[in-house]
């Protein structure tokens, strides 16, 4: 297998687990991952792949936009974490067929695979269907569906939309 095909195969294997597990549509994990960027660099020894310049990653309903995307792997090519940088970096994904898209923004977005945790930093926000959390740092524990927000100079801001009285309980 030539080095380009080997790297492409490895990248696909690394990214297959990237969908935000408990938050993703089941169909998303079955879709191909597509990444476009101005540049890409793979360091086999360090276990890193870096995409730079207008990075766009898609897989089903998952969409990520960043200026820089870094993918870190452990020995055995096991995905460890993904870090996206931007002004802001942006991630969106539809959690379930009948739910609105979850949108997350931050100048730094980290996804920790083992912890199933999405961490947003600097001008961070998560919103879905009118509900919004905005803070300096937001940790979203995907499996437990827990959001923790903390501010430094700015306070945490939460918007809760009014309840739709016509919706079924």
Distance of alpha carbon 131 from alpha carbon 159, whole angstroms: 5
**3-159: which CATH topology?**
lipopolysaccharide transport protein A fold (2.60.450)
Distance of alpha carbon 103 from alpha carbon 74, whole angstroms: 28
Give pairs for 98-105: CB < 8 Å, separation 24+. 99/128, 99/129, 100/128, 100/129, 101/61, 101/128, 102/23, 102/126, 102/127, 102/128, 103/127, 103/128, 104/138, 104/140
Q: What is the pLDDT of residues 19-48, one digit of tens each?
A: 344 445 667 777 777 889 999 998 988 888
Q: What is the pLDDT of residues 51-60, one digit of tens each?
A: 999 999 888 8
Give the other-Cβ count within 10 Å of 19's Cβ: 22
pTM for the whole thing? 0.76
- Taking the domains of the chain in order of start, what are their residue ranges? 3-159
**What is the predicted pLDDT for the residue at 156?**
83
């Amino acid at each position: 297998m030539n080095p380009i095909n080997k790297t492409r195969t490895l990248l696909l294997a690394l990214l297959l687990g990237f969908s935000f597990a408990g938050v993703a549509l089941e169909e998303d994990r079955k879709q191909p991952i597509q990444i476009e960027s101005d540049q890409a660099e793979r360091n086999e020894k360090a276990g890193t792949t870096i995409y730079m310049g207008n990075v766009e990653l898609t897989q089903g309903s998952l969409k990520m936009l960043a200026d820089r995307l870094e993918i870190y792997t452990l020995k055995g090519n096991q995905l460890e974490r993904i870090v996206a940088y931007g002004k802001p970096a942006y991630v969106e994904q539809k959690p379930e067929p009948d739910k609105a898209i979850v949108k997350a923004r931050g100048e730094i977005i980290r996804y920790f695979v083992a912890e199933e945790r999405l961490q947003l930093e600097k001008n961070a926000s998560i919103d879905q269907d009118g509900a919004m959390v905005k803070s300096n740092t937001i940790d979203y524990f995907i499996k437990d569906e827990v959001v923790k927000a903390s501010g430094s100079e700015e306070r945490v801001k939460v918007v809760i939309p009014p309840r739709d009285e016509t919706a079924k309980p």
